[in-house]
Amino acid sequence: MNERVKLTVSDEVAIGIQGMNKWFGSFHVLRDIDLTVNRGERIVVCGPSGSGKSTLIRCVNALEEHQSGQIIVDGTELTSDIKNIDKIRSEVGMLFQHFNLFPHLTILENCTLAQIWVRKIPQAEAEETAMHFLTKVKIPEQANKYPGQLSGGQQQRVAIARSLCMRPRIMLFDEPTSALDPEMIKEVLDTMIELAEDGMTMMVVTHEMGFARQVANRVIFMDEGQIVEQNEPKEFFNNPKSDRTKLFLSQILGH
What one-character DSSP code corresponds to residue 6?
P
189-211 burial code (b ≥16 CB/10 A, e <16): bebbeebbeeebbbbbbbebbeb
Beta-strand runs (E) in the chain = 13-24, 27-38, 42-46, 68-73, 76-77, 92-95, 170-174, 201-205, 218-223, 226-231
162 interacts with other proteins by CB under 8 A: yes
Least separation in angstroms between residue 4's CB and other proteins is 28
Cα torsion 54, 56, 60, 66 to 10°: value is: 120
User: Contact at 8 Å (CB) between 162 and 106?
Assistant: no
Burial 133-142 (b: 16+ CB within 10 A, else e): bbebbebbeb
153/233 with CB nearer other proteins: 153
The single-letter code of the amino acid at 210 is G
Nearer to other proteins, 1 or 82 (CB): 82
Amino acid at position 180, single letter: L
Query: Of 147-155, 180-188, 218-226, 233-241, which part binds other proteins (CB under 8 A)?
Result: 147-155
Q: Is 118 in the site for other proteins (CB under 8 A)?
A: yes
Q: Considering the rule CB under 8 A, would residue 102 count as an interface residue with other proteins?
A: yes
Window of 80-88, 189-197, 233-241, 247-255 that interacts with other proteins by CB under 8 A: 80-88
Q: In the complex, what is the shortest distance from the CB of residue 241 to other proteins, in angstroms, rounded to a whole number?
A: 34
Residue 94 binds other proteins, judged by CB under 8 A: yes
Of the two residues 101 and 227, which places its CB atom closer to other proteins in the complex?
101
171 scored as a contact of other proteins (CB under 8 A): no
Separation of alpha carbons 31 and 2, rounded Å:
12
The reply on whether position 101 binds other proteins by CB under 8 A is yes
Minimum CB–partner distance for residue 90 and other proteins (Å) = 3
What residues make contact with other proteins under the rule CB under 8 A? 61, 63, 82, 86-87, 89-94, 96, 98, 100-104, 113-114, 117-118, 146-149, 162-163, 166
